[in-house]
Structure 1
Amino acid sequence: MSPKGQKPPVRRSIPGLASLPRPVYGRTESLPNRALTYRHSHPWVQLSYAIAGVLEVHTEAGRFIAPPQRAIWVPAGVPHRVFSTPHTEMRSLYLDCTVTGWAADACRVLQVSPLLRELIRAFSALSVEYAEDDADGRLVQVLLDQLRGAPEVDLMLPLPHDQRLQQLCRSLQQHPERQATLAQWSARLGVSEKTLSRLFQRETGLTFRAWRQRLRLLGALQPLEQGQRVTDVALACGYDSTSAFIAAFRQQFGCTPGEFFRAG
């Protein structure tokens, strides 16, 4: 959902690290306002995680969304931007590639278990140059082991490379409530509906209808996490009724909005 009526996000600084002081480095931030980091990359892996608030990481592949108790894994060298909602409490990790050889070389969203959450909190309290050969070092090894086993969750919106689809997707992201059909878009873009449908499937792996529904539901996570009424969020997303929104939400996430955030 587009942030209508909100102030522009505050630019968030990027640590000027030439190298990591230890194989795992933690960064703690309290962000009272909407914030973003401009497009950048690191020579190490980044785990963007928030104990409160909703994060978005944008890459060329798509938008990755992490409400509380989910985290976004960004491989080394991948250009990305990070967005956060107001009152976000960040507990980011930077990991040297020497300790993440088991990880797939792709951006993804991970489920954060209660144990992993507490390990990240405990690690955030350690000295930057923690001792690697005592209890602190053992805690880091358990943390890495839990990261290795963290399941992936489907909280990603794929983005196309075709310029015509990019125009369409930009418009939908700015106005998710609009109900223009694929036929109307094909007329606007000067291509047949069949061609546009095939392009959408080939470039995103989703049908036009499924992509738009995922856009709306992922966009709903931020206002829901901030306590907005389900009815208001549903209407802003383009749903005619609260029941239709909840049914779509359950189909996408396997639970209702209330259950989703209580589980977090």
Structure 2
Amino acid sequence: MPILSDGPDWIDPDNVPRPVVTFGAAMAEVGRIELELHRHMKGQVLFVQRGALSCEVEGGLWIVPPRSAVWIPGGALHAIKASGALEGFAAFVDPAVSRGLPEVCCAVSVAPLLRELLIRSASLPALYEEGGANSRLMAALLDELAAAKIEDLHLPMPTDARLRRIVDLMMASPADRGTLDVWAKRAGLSERTLARLISRETGMSFGRWRQQLGVILAVKWLASGASIQQVAADLGYESAPSFVTMFRKALGTSPGRYMAERSFSRH
């Protein structure tokens, strides 16, 4: 059953009287999916097995590459975008059984056991029989989700209208390496004012925020099949090695190894 759809086959998980309900998704053809801002009563974990998606939640943007997931607490307003081939799963968790799960949105790494639990739970009917094996399966899924490692694939998003205009321009032209002073002039602000606004709204310096933007865009593009050389060029780096150095400092490993570790073997 599709997780990124509101078509005629869609079942609203909030209306399913089960503590956890899991759906699978597959978009084999190259295409584009955009779900505008919406919310669910139940918490939601979106796991990507192949491809990548982005999720904007109040105050932040998360990129979800293969072997990762994003946890969205119940009631959080969010929008989802995906392009290209996509395979994944979504589990919706009733607030009554969400103790131990994060209280805020975050990206998490999906270990093989959690992946298999999502696959198995997605094969159950929406109104699966409770008690016995099914309940134990869902309890194990919640335990694994609570123990999942949190990943740094988050970009704080400002709410100030002047900053959002700058953010939109930077995301549209990530190869533009303009300095803080250049961007301040484009926004009609002083360099000091822009630096103060960025720090207040994101908790980061301008340079740190732009680097994090580059990291999450790189992960998204690499997951979609782009080469390291192409990603480096699209981010405005003069050479691939300089991009690789930045990526390794940010995520602790090279881009090639990062993506290789997220390639599940096929059954």
On the 8 A contact 1:75/1:107 being kept in 2, the answer is yes
- Structure 1 alignment gaps of length 5 or more: 1-10
- Counterparts of 1:218 and 1:58 in 2: how far apart (Å)? 13
Where do residues 76-91 of structure 1 align in structure 2 (5 Å cutoff)?
76-91=74-89
- Structure 2 alignment gaps of length 5 or more: 263-267
Report the equivalent of 1:144: 142
Give per-residue Cα distances to partners, 1:28-50, cap 9 Å, x unaligned.
Answer: 12123221111110111011112
Report the equivalent of 1:20: 16
Give per-residue Cα distances to partners, 1:111-151, cap 9 Å, x unaligned.
Answer: 11111111111111122222221212211111111111112
- Counterparts of 1:130 and 1:143 in 2: how far apart (Å)? 15
Where do residues 44-193 of structure 1 align in structure 2 (5 Å cutoff)?
44-193=42-191
AA of the residue aligned to 2:23: R
Q: CA deviation at 1:186?
A: 1.8
User: 1:30 aligned to 2:26?
Assistant: yes
AA of the residue aligned to 1:12: S
Report the equivalent of 1:41: 39
- Counterparts of 2:152 and 2:88 in 1: how far apart (Å)? 21
Report the equivalent of 2:235: 237
SS for the counterpart of 1:157 is: strand
After TM superposition, the structure 1 stretch with the greater mean CA deviation from structure 2, 128-137 or 157-166, is 128-137
- Counterparts of 1:16 and 1:81 in 2: how far apart (Å)? 18
**Aligned Cα RMSD in Å?**
1.5
Report the equivalent of 1:201: 199
On the 8 A contact 2:64/2:220 being kept in 1, the answer is no
Give per-residue Cα distances to partners, 1:155-210, cap 9 Å, x unaligned.
Answer: 01111122221111111011111121111122222322122112111111111111
- Counterparts of 2:254 and 2:215 in 1: how far apart (Å)? 12
Give the TM-score of the pair, scaled to structure 1.
0.91
- How many positions carry a matched residue from both structures? 254
AA of the residue aligned to 1:258: G
Give the TM-score of the pair, scaled to structure 2.
0.90
After TM superposition, the structure 1 stretch with the greater mean CA deviation from structure 2, 91-100 or 178-187, is 178-187
- Counterparts of 2:74 and 2:138 in 1: how far apart (Å)? 19
On the 8 A contact 2:24/2:89 being kept in 1, the answer is yes
Q: CA deviation at 1:226?
A: 2.6
